[in-house]
Amino acid sequence: MRNMRILWINTVGAMGGAERSLTELLPPLAAQGHDMAVACPHGTLAASAAAAGADVFPIPSVRLRRPSLRHTGWRTGWLSLPVARRKLAGIIRSHRPDILHANSLAAMLALPSRRGAPAIWHVRDLRLPPAAARLAARRADAIIAISTAVETRLSELLPTSEHAKIKLIPNGIALPDSATLPQREEARQRLGLPLGTPIIGMLAHFIPWKRHDRLIAAAALLAESYPQLHVVLAGGDPCGEHAAYVRHLREQIATTGLEKQVSLPGEMDQPLHFLGALDLLVHPAEDEPFGRVVCEAMAVGTPVVAVNRGGPATILEHEVTGWLVDRGTPDELAGAVKRLLDDDALRSRLAARAAARVRESYDIRVTAARISACYAALARRATATERGGGSSSRQ
């Protein structure tokens, strides 16, 4: 397998799950000999990519949103695509990558049509606008689905002529060294969380489909039985798009009288330490494409309650490596939390099996090896096309 120059494209500069996955893939891909570069806007992603040893090229930010009556700024995102394409065309001409790796729908659409190299569309979403997804698929030479749920969604959205491009490569995580992680009470002390009391929580950006409101409603149902229970909703709104949602959550907390039991501490600089501080991670999202936070909680020995849909449904096995609920209603979540908080032995058993499962199946190095094999297949195909005198993306 020859070493190649890889240019990743990400059209937002803030760090989210997709961006964390990108930066964690850079070292293992570089370890296989590939020359890694990232085109992205200025921000935390650019800094993290540079720290990982990648060359970084600045591009304009592109945020694609569906139009709505309440939000008219969606046009700005779509109108910024031509600007990003022109910038990327110049970067591609000067850097001359062998493979272009688009880390989102917007990144795939931002690639110029005359791009000089095969392109991968890395699909990390379930909520894909059908027309835009079909356009992106036509422009891609290969499509990576991060979970079975995403693979199924793509098969539903795309014409059968595009299905052969789809390759399932589950996300991985950089597995932590358990010897360097603080114990639960030590982690709580470092983070300023209550000691000696049950703590459950979420670690997710404040986006409505993450369904923080369901956990708050579940906390209200649990309050009488567990007056000492503390609920932590950790995360932020890095692109500044969901201030109204955060206000709604704070109002919900106040209305239910949970100001002392529910806290919103903001972003966590040490997410694994936070997850290790919890007795339970609760993940109420129904449309989670993968669920890297689920894997991270499993890796640090924190049991997970999640909805039996999307990515978590394939990561967790009910009553073996986690606890799955059917719909994620507050009643279901409260019942699952009660069941696990009342049974220390069950929590310990789930945690041990979950840690083994994530190490067996979600090691970022395995993900990187599969992606590298995809690079090699694309390069071989491009070389064969050029030798055969057929059309190629190298124009």
At 60-102, the pLDDT tens digits run 999 876 444 344 444 446 678 999 999 999 999 999 999 999 9
| pLDDT score of 75 | 45
| pLDDT score of 163 | 98
> Long-range contacts: 370-373, Cβ < 8 Å, 24+?
370/169, 371/25, 371/29, 371/144, 371/169, 372/1, 372/29, 372/32, 372/34, 373/1
| pLDDT score of 309 | 96
**Residue at 294 is within a domain:** yes
Same domain, 119 and 109: yes
DSSP, collapsed to helix, strand or coil, labels residue 332 as helix
The whole-angstrom separation of Cα 297 and Cα 270 is: 13
**Average pLDDT, rounded, for the chain:** 93
In eight-state DSSP terms, residue 257 is: T
**Residue at 9 is within a domain:** yes
Same domain, 204 and 240: yes
For tokens 């304009």, name the residue: 60
Same domain, 163 and 227: no
Same domain, 155 and 284: no
Tens digit of each residue's pLDDT (9 = 90 or more) over 334-365: 999 999 999 999 999 999 999 999 999 999 99
The distance in angstroms from the start CA to the end CA of the chain is: 24
**φ, ψ dihedrals at 367, nearest 5°:** -60, -45
Range of the domain at 256: 178-361
Tens digit of each residue's pLDDT (9 = 90 or more) over 241-270: 899 999 999 999 999 999 999 999 999 989
The whole-angstrom separation of Cα 208 and Cα 214 is: 11
Same domain, 100 and 186: no
| pLDDT score of 68 | 40
Same domain, 157 and 190: no
**Residue at 370 is within a domain:** yes
The whole-angstrom separation of Cα 300 and Cα 293 is: 11
Same domain, 151 and 212: no
Same domain, 150 and 195: no
Rg (C-alpha) for the chain, rounded Å, is 22
The whole-angstrom separation of Cα 302 and Cα 46 is: 31
DSSP, collapsed to helix, strand or coil, labels residue 237 as coil
**Residue at 394 is within a domain:** no
Q: For residue 59, what is the domain's CATH number?
A: 3.40.50.2000
Number of domains composing the chain = 2
Same domain, 205 and 272: yes
pTM score, two decimals? 0.91
Same domain, 344 and 376: no
Mean pLDDT of 115-129: 94
**254 contacts: CB under 8 Å, gap ≥ 6:** none
Same domain, 63 and 191: no
Same domain, 217 and 277: yes
Label residue 394 by pLDDT band (50, 70, 90).
Answer: very low
Q: CB count, 10 Å around CB of 113? A: 9
